[in-house]
Amino acid sequence: MVEEVRIGIIGAGRIADLHVQGYQAHPGAKIVAVCDSVPDVAEQRAAEWGAAHYYIDYRALLDNPEVDAVDIITPHNLHAPMAIDALEAGKHVSLQKPMAIDVTECEAILAASESAEGGFRVFENFRFYPPLIEAKRMLDSGVIGEPISIRMKAVQGALKHGWAVPKSTLAWRYDEAQSGGGRVVFDYGYHLFAVALLFLGPAHRVFAWINETPNEQGWVRDSPAMIVWKYRDPRRHGSWEALSSDDMVVRSDYWTEDEWFEISGTRGFIWVNRCTGKLMDRPPLVVYADGETTETGLDEIEWDWAASFRDGMVDFVDAVLEGRQSPIDGIEGLEILKFARAAQKSSREGREVHLAEIV
């Protein structure tokens, strides 16, 4: 039985700081190698994280027999080739969302994973955010009865109020060749569509209005947007409203973004009132059921966004050690991608789009 998972990190940018916290917290994990296309970054991060090896070519990292598992945290256009190469090299793979650029790339990753020795997952951190995890547990336990709908709102504020992030880290997200197009709906939206899938299952058909607005850097954001969808069960539906404003202060220790969620049931509601940031001065989790309101305060549940990364990496290591699947598997990762692409297609064509059309 494997007792230690030796980790190689591919892509050592700003978000990698949060990934590393999980590996450092797990007694069965050890970071042994780091790869970044910028040599100074690769060397600096290896020293910072105690890794014995650093590389500028990810294939050299994959050739290292000391590496059991890799965490791929790179621009989206690199996800498919890197994940496939890693799987073919016999490594366990955690691939930062989104799974890839399109359905064809996702299917190629799936094909590689089916014949690989190592496990594969798509990492989306909201799925490990403690208030959302608790909300899902409550929903499944029947606290608010049968689920009817999910309503989500997300806001992106002025960049200057959050993380100090190099301009290059942000710029590639607005380059369609690297990001796949859709900084808000495709890239950031993968989080929201993953949450919708978690709570009420796969969407069936989608309608969207997506606008475009330049931000303070001159980059065009696909926001504001309103996206609505139906499930196969005709009684169930969902919605997501995305708003971006360079005039808005979004209090956050990370990206200047925040999200809140409302899950409706036949007997009441569950509200999760924060995620990435701390925009609202409200309890993280509130439940109304059978005429009574119950609040879970800041001192009763872990609510810091970084906890979702820590717990997500801990689960990845546990999954390797235990020989099980860590969320999200490749099939679900592809379903989430189809969700986002269906919304974009709907807005372009001005019509309802079935997810089955995204091929």
The tens digit of pLDDT for each residue in 252-299 reads: 999 999 999 999 999 999 999 999 999 999 999 999 999 999 999 999
Q: What percent of the chain has pLDDT over 90?
A: 93
- Domain termination site, one of 75, 94, 123: 123
pLDDT in tens, 199-210: 999 999 999 999
For the record, the structure tokens of 254 come out as 């990370």
Assess whether 136 and 166 both reside in one domain. yes
Assess whether 33 and 172 both reside in one domain. no
Type of residue at 53 = H
Assess whether 163 and 278 both reside in one domain. yes
Q: Averaged over 101-105, what is the pLDDT?
A: 98
Q: Please say if the pLDDT value at position 122 is more than 90.
A: yes
* pLDDT for position 330: 98
Assess whether 72 and 154 both reside in one domain. no
| Domain-located, residue 176 | yes
* pLDDT for position 316: 98
pLDDT in tens, 127-157: 999 999 999 999 999 999 999 999 999 999 9
pTM for this model (two decimals) = 0.96
Assess whether 133 and 237 both reside in one domain. yes
* pLDDT for position 207: 98
- Domain termination site, one of 92, 123, 154: 123
Structural domain that includes position 58: 5-123
Residue bearing the bigger pLDDT, 18 or 162:
18
For the record, the structure tokens of 154 come out as 């997300």
| Domain-located, residue 358 | no
User: DSSP strand E in the chain: where?
Assistant: 5-10, 29-35, 53-55, 69-72, 92-96, 120-123, 147-156, 203-210, 213-214, 220-221, 225-231, 237-244, 257-265, 268-272, 285-289, 292-296, 353-354
Assess whether 131 and 119 both reside in one domain. no
| Domain-located, residue 258 | yes
Q: Averaged over 89-94, what is the pLDDT?
A: 98
Assess whether 117 and 35 both reside in one domain. yes
Assess whether 111 and 160 both reside in one domain. no
For the record, the structure tokens of 85 come out as 């190469």
- Domain termination site, one of 70, 93, 123: 123
What is the b/e burial string over 216-226, where b = at least 16 CB atoms within 10 angstroms of the residue's CB? eeeeebbbbbb
| Domain-located, residue 319 | no
Assess whether 83 and 166 both reside in one domain. no
The domain spanning residue 60 has which CATH number?
Answer: 3.40.50.720
| Domain-located, residue 328 | no
| Domain-located, residue 117 | yes
* Confidence category of residue 160, pLDDT binned at 50, 70, 90: confident
Angle made by CA atoms 272, 278, 168, in degrees to the nearest 5: 115
* pLDDT for position 166: 79
Kindly tell me the burial class for residue 12, based on how many C-beta atoms sit within 10 Å of its own C-beta (0-12, 13-18, 19 or more). Answer: buried
Assess whether 132 and 219 both reside in one domain. yes
Average pLDDT, the chain: 96
Q: How far apart are CA 162 and CA 6, in angstroms?
A: 32
| Domain-located, residue 247 | yes
* pLDDT for position 31: 98
* Confidence category of residue 170, pLDDT binned at 50, 70, 90: confident
Assess whether 35 and 148 both reside in one domain. no
* pLDDT for position 26: 98
* pLDDT for position 139: 98
* pLDDT for position 1: 54
* Confidence category of residue 159, pLDDT binned at 50, 70, 90: confident
* pLDDT for position 106: 98
| Domain-located, residue 359 | no
The domain spanning residue 167 has which CATH number?
Answer: 3.30.360.10
* pLDDT for position 2: 67
Q: Please say if the pLDDT value at position 30 is more than 80.
A: yes
Q: Please say if the pLDDT value at position 236 is more than 60.
A: yes
Please tell me the total count of domains within the chain: 2
Query: Which of 35-49, 154-168, 330-344 is predicted with the least confidence, judged by mean pLDDT?
Result: 154-168
Q: Averaged over 212-220, what is the pLDDT?
A: 87
CA dihedral 259, 260, 265, 268 (to 10 degrees): 170
Assess whether 139 and 157 both reside in one domain. yes
Q: Please say if the pLDDT value at position 76 is more than 60.
A: yes
Q: Between the CA of residue 320 and those of 77, 171, 307, 309, 326, what are the distances in Å?
A: 26, 34, 20, 17, 8
